[in-house]
Chains A and B, each alone.
Chain A
Amino acid sequence: MNELALLNPFAFGFMQRALVAGLVVGVFAPMIGTFLVQKRLSLIGDGIGHVAFAGVGAGLLLHVSPIWAALVFAVVGALGVDWLRARRRASGDVALALLFYSGIALGVVLISLGGGLNANILVYLFGQPLTVTRSEIVTIFVLGAAITVTMWALRRVLFSVVTDDDWSRVAGLPVDALNALLAVMTAVAVVAAMRIVGILLVAALMVLPVASAQLLARSFRGTLIVSVGVGVGSVVAGLVAAWEWDLAPSGAMVLAAAAVFALVTVGKRAAPRTLRQEEHA
């Protein structure tokens, strides 16, 4: 190994795999997050993550792939939340909290039945892109591509539904079906990103890049594109920082996204008055 390789974090196979998987997550997580933020469901990804954890537990117990088991649990949980929300059966956040905490409690119980809590679980809770395998990259890529293509193809109608639910219904758009689709796509996104950023941090990559983008962009389309840019940038910056300072990569990625938001907020405030006036002219 030469010195140049040590200076370039992506000269190593495991870093290249982490980068590829991270870039895919950096694209689809903010993309779906833009619709969730507009729908004021910023924390839904966090909640679905809790349910996915029960799937991880079931997978470990039954010796099936934890990712696919988590996908089944997350999709069922997401549809359940959407059903409760649509029928206003959820009184405040209580019914949702019940579902989410039941999910994580079920996960803990299933994992203890399957041999107890160990380091493997930490990979799913906090993510670990540096140990991602080729087959996991393929899974993440296939799921991520499905989300990205679906979101982009249906962006206009999803925009209408998340922006004005009542009007979209009168206009004859299939609001319930599209809300259910968005719930399923969110579940798929949570599971696809789980191995990289972890169940506890996945919602951050869905929401934080969007929080920055909505300050920078002047349209929904612009917000979608800028948030993906921030997401991808945060993943790369997080991996480089993790390499440079020996940090947990998933946490570094999320902190990078939070730092972008802080910089954008400060930058907006410090922007010359004339620029701001032009914006509102």
Chain B
Amino acid sequence: MGAPEPLRSEPSDDAGYLLEAEGVCFAYGRDPVLTDVSLRVSPGEFVALVGPNGSGKTTLLRILLGSLVPDEGRVRILGADPARFDERWRLGYVPQRPSLASEVPATVEEIVTSGRLSRRGWWRALRPDDRAAVRHAITSVDLGELSGRPVNTLSGGQQQRAFIARAFASEPDLLVLDEPVAGIDAGSQRRFSDSLTHLIREHHAGVLLVSHELSAVAGAVDRVIVLKGRVLFDGPPAELTREGVSLGIHREDLPLWLEGLR
């Protein structure tokens, strides 16, 4: 059975996309992973990219962040080619499983301060406004009272919020999160969702959340993109709950995100 044509929401503004992919194709050897993938994220928009394991989410993310070059197609991140994108502080990134070395204890504040370096200039000393931004980022993820604690003594959910605060610290225009709620308890998921909403409201930032499930953020998402090698769906969550079943993606993939939208 051929994949159905994707439903795409039309952008309201042609200029000023934070993230834009047009006709991206990528293959590992002869195995196509991504075929004609297009997506856009605008300022103030919360977009969720979902799909089952092996759908090409990670590959697409690596292409969007510039660590892989697509075979075909074009990517612009904050208006620039990812390979030549210099204003890295404008991008906040929360990795799936941070490969954090923890031989030596490091506090929440030290980890979050790392997020400020690219904005200030890594060779420069931090100023009072940098420290204020770090404190604000820590408070916005509700870790104020734990800022002096070593990260490796925190729960998984608290650690994840520390990494989100690190991404917030540069006051980014675009936030990209890779499977941020995997293995996190419900209370932390709620705080996590609140933190993202805060960033979008306060800074008019755009958010791209890559996940195999949506339950943690279902209420806050503006647009859902369903990926399975190609874009199966691109539109508001309410439309997906109506159209999703007819797209034929619920039977074999039946991901948890669909449950979360109901």
Interface residues of A (CB under 8 A from B): 34, 37-40, 154, 156-157, 159-160, 162-174, 210, 214, 217-223, 280
State the majority secondary structure of interface residues on A: helix
Within 8 A of A (CB), among B84-119: 86, 88-89, 91, 93, 95, 98-101, 103-107, 110-111, 113-115, 117-118
Sorting the interface of chain B by its residue count into under 10, 10 to 19, 20 to 34 or 35 or more gives 20 to 34
- Asked if residues B95 and A167 are in contact (CB atoms below 8 Å), the reply is yes
Select one of B88, B117, B153 contacting A170, CB under 8 A: B88
- Inter-chain CA distance A218–B108, complex, in Å, is 11
Instruction: Name the residue on B nearest A172 (C-beta).
Output: B88
Please name 12 pairs of A and B residues whose Cβ atoms are closer than 8 Å in the assembled complex, sorted by A. A34-B104, A163-B100, A163-B111, A166-B95, A167-B98, A167-B114, A170-B65, A170-B67, A170-B88, A214-B105, A219-B148, A220-B107
- Inter-chain CA distance A280–B67, complex, in Å, is 39
B112 to chain A, nearest CB (A): 11
A175 to chain B, nearest CB (A): 10
- Inter-chain CA distance A219–B146, complex, in Å, is 13
Instruction: Name the residue on B nearest A221 (C-beta).
Output: B110
State the majority secondary structure of interface residues on B: loop
Select one of A156, A164, A169 contacting B100, CB under 8 A: A164
Interface residues of B (CB under 8 A from A): 65, 67, 86, 88-89, 91, 93, 95, 98-101, 103-107, 110-111, 113-115, 117-118, 122-123, 126, 148-150, 153, 166, 170
- Asked if residues B98 and A164 are in contact (CB atoms below 8 Å), the reply is yes
Select one of B67, B93, B98 contacting A171, CB under 8 A: B93
Q: A156-B126, A218-B107, A221-B110 are in contact. List 16 more A-B contacts (CB 8 A).
A: A37-B103, A38-B103, A156-B122, A159-B110, A163-B106, A163-B111, A164-B100, A165-B99, A167-B98, A167-B114, A170-B93, A172-B118, A173-B117, A214-B105, A220-B110, A223-B104
Known: A34-B104, A164-B98, A214-B104. A156 touches B113 (CB 8 A): yes
Residues of B within 8 A of A170 (CB): 65, 67, 88, 91, 93, 95
- Inter-chain CA distance A167–B89, complex, in Å, is 12
- Asked if residues A171 and B115 are in contact (CB atoms below 8 Å), the reply is yes
B161 to chain A, nearest CB (A): 15
- Asked if residues A280 and B110 are in contact (CB atoms below 8 Å), the reply is no
